[in-house]
Amino acid sequence: EVQLVESGGGLVQPGGSLRLSCAASGFTFSSYSMTWVRQAPGKGLEWVANINQGGGDKYYVDSVKGRFTVSRDNAKNSLYLQMNSLRAEDTAVYYCARRAEGYWGQGTLVTVSS
Amino acid sequence: SYELTQSPSVSVSPGQTARITCSGDALPKRFAYWYQQKSGQAPVLVIYEDNKRPSGIPERFSGSSAGTMATLTISGAQVDDEADYYCYSSDSSGNQEVFGGGTKLTVL
């Protein structure tokens, strides 16, 4: 059974940093590109970043470029999102996903507030 | 930046056909995916690659794409289908992905 479990969310002050993790199991992690998606409270879904199978190709939504970095460790079956210079508008539930196949984690809440 | 446009809401009576549309300039070149999201839950994929249905998704859900518009059709909508529906695709390069703004389906 495919499982994706996010962790690392929490309350952080504006300008602060946070690192999200996503532990994958039930499939050959290194064979799939992975995605981070977020959803602000009461708002729609927003694609955040993609990373390809080997980690060499990474793409970001414009609003996080230069602040967020997606990475993966295929040996540990793990996906990461390093978030720096956080802003209030980054407050959201963050999901990791194999979006084309429809596998999502349960999400982790990031709150940016003073 | 690339955008996908959905109407904010659709309302049908139980048993009627609901059609939710998504427009985007790159849709002739890129697949559309459709997600259903009920309140407080993670999204569920209901259509992938324009018109394919994942296992476990009822047959009343179907998808199509023509030109710059993709359509999710729910034939014989049920009260349980009330949810937000999001289309998902990428720009012509395939590198920038985007969700539509979402359509709230009401069945009553």
| Per-residue pLDDT, A20 | 98
Q: Dump the DSSP string for chain B.
A: ----EE-SEEEE-TTS-EEEEEE-TTTTTS--EEEEE-TTS--EEEEBTTTB--TTS-TTEEEEEETTEEEEEETT--GGG-EEEEEEEE-TTSSSEEE---EEEEE-
Instruction: With a cut of 90, say whether residue B17 has pLDDT above it.
Output: yes
Indicate yes or no: CB of B42 within 8 angstroms of CB of A45: no
| Per-residue pLDDT, B56 | 94
Q: What is the mean pLDDT of chain A?
A: 97
Average pLDDT over residues A32-46: 97
In percent, the amount of chain B with pLDDT more than 70 equals 100
Indicate yes or no: CB of A46 within 8 angstroms of CB of B99: yes
Indicate yes or no: CB of B33 within 8 angstroms of CB of A107: no
**A33 CB near a chain B CB, below 8 Å?**
no
Q: Using CB atoms, which residue from B33, B42, B102 is nearest to A44?
A: B102
Please choose, from the candidates B17, B22, B19, the residue with its C-alpha nearest in 3D space to the C-alpha of residue B33: B22
pLDDT digit string, tens, across residues B24-58: 999 999 999 999 999 989 999 999 999 999 999 99
Phi-psi domain of A111 (left: phi exceeds 0; alpha: psi -120 through 50; beta: other): beta
Residue A81 contacts residue A68 (beta carbons within 8 Å): yes
Phi (first) and psi of residue A30, to 5 degrees: -70, -10
| Per-residue pLDDT, A23 | 98
Average pLDDT over residues A2-29: 97
Chain A residue whose CA is closest to B90 = A47
Residue B4 contacts residue B65 (beta carbons within 8 Å): no
| Alpha carbon distances (Å) from B38 to A92, B15, B57, B81 | 17, 20, 15, 9
**Cα four-point dihedral sign B21, B24, B26, B30:** negative
pLDDT digit string, tens, across residues A63-106: 999 999 999 999 999 999 999 999 999 999 999 999 888 899 99
Indicate yes or no: CB of B35 within 8 angstroms of CB of A45: yes
How far is the alpha carbon of A7 from chain B, nearest alpha carbon, in Å?
15
Please choose, from the candidates A112, A113, A88, A109, the residue with its C-alpha nearest in 3D space to the C-alpha of residue A9: A109
Residue B76 contacts residue B89 (beta carbons within 8 Å): no
| Per-residue pLDDT, A15 | 98
| Per-residue pLDDT, A100 | 82
| Per-residue pLDDT, A99 | 83
Portion 54-83 of A in contact with B at CB < 8 A? 59, 61-62
| Per-residue pLDDT, A114 | 95
Indicate yes or no: CB of A47 within 8 angstroms of CB of B97: yes
pLDDT digit string, tens, across residues B53-99: 999 999 999 999 999 999 999 999 999 999 999 999 999 999 999 99
Tally: H helices and E strands in chain A: 0, 11
